[in-house]
Every structure is written in structure tokens, then in C-alpha cells.
Structure 1
Amino acid sequence: MQALSLATLAFILYIAAASWQGLVLARRVSPQPMLVRGLGILGLLCHLPLAIGLFGHGAPVLPGLSTSVIVISAMLVLVLLVVSLFKPVLNAAVGVFPLAGLALLLATGLPSPERTNGLTPGIALHALSALLAFATLAIAAAQAVLLGLQNRALRHHHIRGIVQALPPLTTMERVLFELIWAGVALLTLSILSGFLFLDSMFAQHLAHKTILSLAAWVIFSVLLFSHHRLGWRGMRAVRWTLGGCAVLLLAYFGSKFVLEVVLGRG
């Protein structure tokens, strides 16, 4: 019950922060980044005890769906709050915060796997880099959605509303590719550390995650190379970013959802 109460409070705070930023994008209220960050931090303070509690007596080498969702959504909010201090990405909170809150609420109702003491320093490096990679690239996906809306509005000569609320198009694109570069670097570290510290990245229980993670790495790498050499940008960059993030989402959650929710296996 305590977990559900914390999750509900975190969800409410996330929704409040996202709602205010949504009103900013609609040009109904003035920007208040401190308010949005403050509400987000309060939500994260309710969220973190649930994430930390999962690792209170040792962490599983392969966390279940509920553990993955709670920890990754907390990391996603944390990374967004930190990056927003240096880059204009706070608008991504409109999508990121509600999704994190909803994921937290749903995950608190799922069973957690038995905990085991199997988290060595090498595996911890792999897990942390994987979490940061997913969080960074998920924020890039939210940035890509906003960039796509901005591109579409400008193409139809709609220069009011969201276009006026967002940073200039060139700034939005630059930030998007900075996020992708950072995400790919972290994903590379995650994949390399996995090959170094896990017994077999292509074992039956890891093969799907390895293959899909490598596929996502290839998608993002092709996008970065083509942006640098061929000038890819605009809607093509948006589509490739969203496609790569979708593949990464399947890598992290796809089989866990099928096994634990659809088939009911722990």
C-alpha cells in the first residue's frame, strides 16, 4: 500500500509538471522552468524510494519487468532534469513525465522477481550504462517528436503556437544530435561491457536483448554518419530517431512483457 501511495503521489506531481510545460507550449502561461523542475524533483523523490528498495537486499542480474520499468523510468526523469540545466530539453517533460508516472503506477502492481546477490562491478557498469543510454535516447525521441511538430508547422506556414514556444529549429536539431551522440556512446559502453563481463551475450535469455540492442546501435550510428556526411536532418532524422528508440524499447522490455505479463512466467 505504501508503494502504491508513493507511486500515485509521484504520478500526480509528474502530471502537474507536464501540464504546466504543456500550457507553456500552448502559450497559455509564461515559462516557469524552476516550477517544472521543482515538481519533477518532488515526483522523483517519491519515485526513488521504490527504485532503491528493489535493490535493498541485492539486485538480480536480469531484473524483471517491474524492476526494469521502475528503475528506468526514475533514471529517465533524473537524466531529463539534469540535462535541462544545460540544454533546452525541458519541453520533453510534456511526454516524459506522464509516461514515467504511468509506468511507475502500472509497475507497482506487477510481481517482482526474487532478489539475488549477482551484481558484480563489471555487471554494474553494464547495467548503469544501459540505463543511461536508454534514458538519453528516450529523451532524444521526445525531442524528435517536438522537432517533427515544429517542422510540420513551419512547412504549413503556421508560425504561432508551438513554433513560437520552442527554441529555433537549428537549436532543436543540434540538441537532438547531441543527445543521440551521447546515447550512442553510452550504448556502445553498455554493449562492450556486456561482452566483457557477462558469460554470454548470446545466451538464450539474453540473445533477443543483444540482437535488438545491436540493431538499435546500427540505426543510430547510420543516422549520425548520414547526418555528418550526407546532411540528413528534418523529418528523416525524426523518423530514424523514433525507429531506433522503438527497437531499443523492444530490446529492454519486449521479451519481459511477453514472458511475465502475457505468459505469466516469472
Structure 2
Amino acid sequence: MAAFAHWTAIALYSATTILAAMSYLRQRQPHMVPLLALLAGALVAHGISLYYTLISPTGYRFDLLAMLSLVSWTINLLVLLLATRQPLQPLILILAPLGVLTVFAAVYDWGGVAPRQQLSTGIAVHALLSITAYSLLTIATLQAIYLYYQNQQLHNHKPGGISRLLPPLQTMESLLFGLVAFGQILLTASLITGFLFVDNLFAQHLVHKTVLSILAWLLYSVLLWGHWKLGWRGNTAVRWTLAAFAALMLAFFGSKLVLEVILHRSTWG
């Protein structure tokens, strides 16, 4: 079943890529129903493949290749949902081949399996949600930086480069807020599972990560509220995205720096 899902996902992602590429080369709009149907089928097969990739009889996989496959699936799902209302065909042409590569790469067990005896199901779910949320919000940050660049190009009347190959600015802004909203849902689930399954999230070795993650969640919430209620967009959205991601990055890496470098040096000072 795992091998069948794996190769079915690769075949359907490849068919999606070919259909999108043929339409792009002929400079005509693709027939969206078959294109999105192929992408949806690829996502179903990819999801089944991911189940067997991430969960083995002996434990759970958290290595880079497995996580890249999970993030690729999440982004392609978001694009599928948005493509029903937005012209995202160029992104499908970019992301469907990424699906092929990540599904194929995830077959290789690069980092080994975390044994079930060392990791409960609840902690494994929390870890998967945290990694996926962080990855998705990282991509949202890169998207925000690109939007800033695109805004500057338009302001200086110098549109060009990669901008000619991608959807219009308004569509790319919709994708940014879709990424942030999807990432915020995963971050919320990550925090909830953390409080449910992690012993004392405010213990000394976890308090930095917990507080900064909650701060990031609040900043992303303000950004989404400002967009939907006050119409925030453009550079305002970029600034809030970068500020929220800075807090999230400190939560993931700053707490490690505090624990392993600063406190370690003060202890052995």
C-alpha cells in the first residue's frame, strides 16, 4: 500500500506538471477542472504515502527529507484550495514538481526513527505540528520578503525578472495571508498539544520557547485581524509578518542559544 501510494503520488504530480507546462508553453489558460482534479488526486496519494513515511511500526520519522515531504504536501494543499478562487497556475507549475521530488526523496530514511518507547503519540503529534507550522510560516516570511521586493519594483517602475512568471501582486498577497492563516492554525494546534502532552511547558528549560511562541501567535493573530478588519496589506503586512516570525525564530533557536550558550557559560564562568 505504501509503495502504491508513493508511486501514484509521483505519477499524478508529474501529470499535473505536464498539463500545467503544456498550457503555459502554449500561452493559454489550462482547463482548471482536470488540472485541479489531478492535483487533488496527487495530494490524496501523497497523504497516504506520508502516513507510512512518518509512522513506522517502531517509531516516528522527523528527519529533513520526511519533513520536506510533509511541508510540500501542506503547501500544495493550500494552493489547491486557493486555486479554486485565484489564478495560481504558475505556482502549480512550480510546486507540483516539488511534490514529485519530495515524495521520491522521503523514501530514503535519512535520519532514522525515533523509538515509540522514547516518544509518546501525543509528543510526536506536537512535534509534527510544530515543525510543519514553523516551516510553513518560514515560507510565508520568504513570501513577504518577495512581496516587499515586488512592491519596490512596481514603485520604481521596474517590473521584471521572476515577477513576470508569477501571478499578479494581489494574488501573491492572497497567498501570503493564506500561508499565514494556515500556519497560524497549525501553530495553534501545536500550542494546544504542547499544553496537553508536554509536562510543564513553563519549566525553566522550556519557558523561553513557550513565551516566545505565544508572543508569535499573538502577533500573527493581530496581523490576520488587521488584514480582515482593517484591510492591512503591502508593507504593513510585511512588517507584521517579519516581527511575528522573529519571535517564532527566537522561540525555536533563541531558547536553544540561551540554554546551551549563555546559561552554560554563566554556569561554568
Q: TM-score, normalised by structure 2?
A: 0.59
Matches within 5 A, 1:29-40: 29-40=28-39
Report if the CA contact (8 A) 2:147-2:169 is conserved.
no
2:151 corresponding residue in structure 1: 151
Residue identity (%): 35
Amino acid at match of 2:194: G
Q: How many Å separate the matches in 2 of 1:50 and 1:240? A: 36
Amino acid at match of 2:167: L
How far 1:30 sits from its partner (Å)?
Answer: 1.9
- What secondary structure sits across from 2:27 in the alignment? coil
Q: Deviations over 1:139-172 (max 9, x none)?
A: 7457646745653453244689967973573x65
How far 1:173 sits from its partner (Å)?
Answer: 3.5
Which structure's relative contact order is higher, taking Cα pairs within 8 Å and 6+ residues apart? 1
1:231–1:73 Cα change, 3 Å: closer
1:144–1:198 Cα change, 3 Å: same
Question: Greater CA deviation, 147-156 or 220-229?
Answer: 220-229
Report if the CA contact (8 A) 2:65-2:102 is conserved.
no
How far 1:184 sits from its partner (Å)?
Answer: 2.1
Q: How many Å separate the matches in 1 of 2:150 and 2:249? A: 25
Report if the CA contact (8 A) 2:68-2:102 is conserved.
yes
Question: Greater CA deviation, 188-197 or 176-185?
Answer: 176-185
Matches within 5 A, 1:23-62: 28-53=27-52, 54-57=54-57, 59-60=59-60
Q: How many Å separate the matches in 2 of 1:56 and 1:134? A: 24
2:265 corresponding residue in structure 1: none
Report if the CA contact (8 A) 1:59-1:119 is conserved.
no
- Which has the higher Rg, Structure 1 or Structure 2? 2
Q: How many Å separate the matches in 1 of 2:96 and 2:204? A: 34
Return 5+ residue gaps in structure 1 as ranges: 256-266
Report if the CA contact (8 A) 2:59-2:113 is conserved.
no
Q: Deviations over 1:68-103 (max 9, x none)?
A: 333343333334323433555555434444444434
1:192 corresponding residue in structure 2: 192
Report if the CA contact (8 A) 2:210-2:251 is conserved.
yes
1:259 corresponding residue in structure 2: none
Report if the CA contact (8 A) 1:77-1:96 is conserved.
yes
Report if the CA contact (8 A) 1:14-1:43 is conserved.
yes
Q: How many Å separate the matches in 2 of 1:192 and 1:72? A: 20
Q: How many Å separate the matches in 2 of 1:32 and 1:127? A: 39
Amino acid at match of 2:188: T
Report if the CA contact (8 A) 1:220-1:244 is conserved.
yes
Q: How many Å separate the matches in 1 of 2:166 and 2:193? A: 41
How far 1:196 sits from its partner (Å)?
Answer: 2.5
1:81–1:196 Cα change, 3 Å: same
Amino acid at match of 1:80: V
1:29–1:163 Cα change, 3 Å: same
How far 1:29 sits from its partner (Å)?
Answer: 3.1
1:14–1:178 Cα change, 3 Å: closer
Return 5+ residue gaps in structure 2 as ranges: 257-269
Report if the CA contact (8 A) 2:82-2:175 is conserved.
no
How far 1:55 sits from its partner (Å)?
Answer: 1.9
Matches within 5 A, 1:62-141: 63-85=62-84, 91-109=90-108, 110-116=110-116, 119-120=120-121, 123=123, 126=126, 130=130, 133=133, 137=137, 140=140
Q: TM-score, normalised by structure 1?
A: 0.59
How far 1:181 sits from its partner (Å)?
Answer: 3.7
How far 1:194 sits from its partner (Å)?
Answer: 0.6
Paired residues in the alignment total 249
How far 1:18 sits from its partner (Å)?
Answer: 5.2
Amino acid at match of 1:30: Q
Amino acid at match of 2:75: L
Q: How many Å separate the matches in 1 of 2:207 and 2:240? A: 24
